[in-house]
Amino acid sequence: MHNRVVITGLGIWSCLGKNLDEVKDSLYNGKSGIGMDMERKEWGYRSGLTGMVERPELKGILDRRARVGLSEEAEYAYMATLEAMKNAKMDMSWVENNEVGILYGNDSSAKAVSEAIDTIRIKKDTTLLGSGSIFQSMNCTVTMNLSTIFKLKGINFTISAACASGSHAIGLGYLMIKWGLQKHIICGGAQEVNPFAFGSFDGLSAFSIRENDPAKASRPFDKDRDGLIPSGGAATVIIESYESAIERGAPILAEIVGYGFSSNGAHISNSSVDGQIRSLNMALNDAGISADVVDYINAHATSTPGGDFAEAQAIDAVFGTSKPMVSSTKSMTGHECWMAGASEIVYSTLMMQNNFIAPNINFENPDEASAKLNIVSKTTEKNIDVFLSNSFGFGGTNSSLIIKKIK
Amino acid sequence: MTQQEIIAKINEFLVEEFEVDAEKIVPTANLRETLELDSLDYVDLVVIIESNFGFKVVAEDFINIHTFQDFYDYVNRKVAEKTTA
């Protein structure tokens, strides 16, 4: 007998807003969070485009010992988790006396690492890095810090799976609760936003260079797209067993009903239609639903020519008959990378709760593959009972999550 | 830098960086207990001293520093040594 797995808390810190209300409004209004970072141009970046994410001020909220270990992305994750825990009605005394886990997606902490190495090179003395450097520098910076701050006693590790990290974190949490290994898990994804983090990605010419019009630069599925825009922040999705949520009197926001995953077994950076189709079908099989039940697909589509083309083909192959509405919120956020798989669950659940589909802004003309999809380019009022969210990453890692409205 | 300037600077960064109430900083008070220092905090104290006074504290030096006054005297002595060197 498997447990039903429900979402009871959401939290977000992104270029669309610093809380759920702000983000919901941005999604509804099709507002872009993209801008220019001139420092990147000084550093020799091909593109200075980025999601514009504010750093939270944590002095006065967290004590010094907690703050010094937080990397930039862990600060974002702290803010998102604080909001999610409040919404999930998980206060500190309850958390301390129950087994709450954390599974968070993160795949770099480049700024902390780079600054530490610079200090060692200049000072020739490792002590002068200070005590926080190591806790900021490791990939598990989010889970090691948040598990300490929130005094978590359950499962505790980081998932690194490139741009599918956040999605796999939720998927693995879902499996753990489904199988009865845990009752409550703080899931999510975090992504640093700074010039240290994206130089190597920029070096692949993967980023849009439409610098004269940042809000128009991210255009997933549009035939004139020229690359993605890096972005970040953090998104937290608190999940637990249905029984636990009822017992606690927690708000049940939605149910996770399917998780599909696959590996392409092919090129390190190119997408694979076959790999994506396997992930989509596995999610549908796990959910025990047919493709026509899905009302909305939040696409991975990042605005790269090759990636979007492959995903459009994969979606058409599986959903070509029912043609559900499709949009990529990356048209507004840019590509939130390690965070994206979690943030897009937050964005889509907000749409589900508020009966609308956020637009795939800048979708003006389809290409041969996207012409076959039902892409939503304007905000559309729509009841969503079931949505699917795709996330794909370098190395050919694919993840698909299916979420259902609780009635 | 005079001794009074050194004390003022130390008190300022302890209040700012270690978030201790200024009124708790009295010369006879115990440094470790007042600041609630753990082993990690001592590393940060080394960094702050280096950035403010330009010398590196050796971990063993902390063994003989008990009170704030001990701490002021230690920094004052090291700054003086640095000046005369």
Contacts of A133 in chain B (CB under 8 A): none
Task: Please list every residue in chain B whose beta carbon sits closer than 8 Å to the beta carbon of residue A125.
Answer: 56
Residue pairs between chains A and B whose CB atoms are closer than 8 Å: 26
B40 touches chain A (CB under 8 A): yes
- B70 touches A at CB < 8 Å: no
Is A120's Cβ below 8 Å from some Cβ in B? Answer: no
Among A55, A78, A231, smallest CA distance to A150 is for A78
Of A225, A171, A215, nearest to A390 (Cα)? A171
Interface test with B, best of A128, A129, A133 (most B CBs within 10 A): A128
The CATH number of domain B3-84 is 1.10.1200.10: yes
Q: Do B50 and A64 touch (CB under 8 A)?
A: no
A244-265 pLDDT tens trace: 999 999 999 999 999 999 999 9
Asked if the Cβ–Cβ distance from B46 to A128 is below 8 Å, we say yes
Residue of A125, A127, A131 lying closest to B41 (CB–CB):
A131
Question: What is the length of chain A?
Answer: 407
In Å, how far is A136's CA from the nearest CA of chain B?
14
Task: Report, as residue numbers or ranges, the catalytic residues of A.
Answer: 163, 300, 335
In this predicted structure, the answer to whether residue B85 has a pLDDT above a threshold of 80 is no
The answer to whether the beta carbons of residues A20 and A11 sit under 8 Å apart is yes
Does B17 reach chain A within 8 Å, measured CB to CB?
A: yes
B56 closest CB neighbour out of A63, A65, A125: A125
CB contact at 8 A, A350 and A24: yes
Residues of A in contact with B50 (CB under 8 A): 128
pLDDT band at A92 (very low <50, low <70, confident <90, very high): very high
Binary contact (B46, A64; C-beta < 8 A): no
A100-126 pLDDT, tens digit per residue, is 999 999 999 999 999 999 999 999 999
pTM over 0.95: yes
* 3-class SS string, chain A: CCCCEEEEEEEEEECCECCHHHHHHHHHHCCCCEEECHHHHHCCCCCCEEECCCCCCCECCECHHHHHCCCHHHHHHHHHHHHHHHHCCCCHHHHHCCCEEEEEECCCCHHHHHHHHHHHHHHCCHHHHCCCHHHHHCCCHHHHHHHHHCCCCCCEEEECECECHHHHHHHHHHHHHHCCCCCEEEEEEEECCCHHHHHHHHCCCCECCCCCCHHHHCCCCECCCCCECECCEEEEEEEEEHHHHHHHCCCCCEEEEEEEEEECCCCCCCCCHHHHHHHHHHHHHHHCCCHHHCCEEECCCCCCHHHHHHHHHHHHHHHCCCCCEEECCHHHHCECHHHHHHHHHHHHHHHHHHCEECCCCCCCCECCCHHHCEECCCCEECCCCEEEEEEEECCCEEEEEEEECCC
- In this prediction, residue A347 carries a pLDDT of 98
The whole-angstrom separation of Cα A267 and Cα A277 is 16
Domains of chain A and CATH, by start: 5-248 (3.40.47.10), 259-404 (3.40.47.10)
Q: Report the SS3 class of residue B67.
A: strand
Query: Is the Cβ of B21 closer than 8 Å to some Cβ of chain A?
Result: no
pLDDT > 90? residue A363? yes
Nearest residue of chain B to residue A69 (CA atoms): B40
pLDDT > 80? residue A276: yes
The answer, for B50 touching chain A at a CB cutoff of 8 Å, is yes
- The minimal CB distance from A130 to the residues B38, B43, B56 is found for B43
Question: Which residues in chain A have their CB less than 8 angstroms from residue B18's CB?
Answer: 64
Mean pLDDT of A10-29: 98
Angle formed by the axes of helices A110-123 and A195-202, to 10°?
Answer: 110
pLDDT for A16: 98
% chain A with pLDDT above 90: 100
A129 touches chain B (CB under 8 A): yes
Does residue B25 surpass a pLDDT of 80? yes
Q: Which residues of A touch B44 (CB under 8 A)?
A: 68, 130-132
CA B56, A145, A399, A353 torsion-angle sign: negative
Q: What is the Cα–Cα distance from A4 to A254, expressed in whole angstroms?
A: 11
Q: Which of A63, A128, A131 sits opposite B40 (nearest CB)?
A: A131
Q: Identify the pLDDT of residue A1.
A: 73
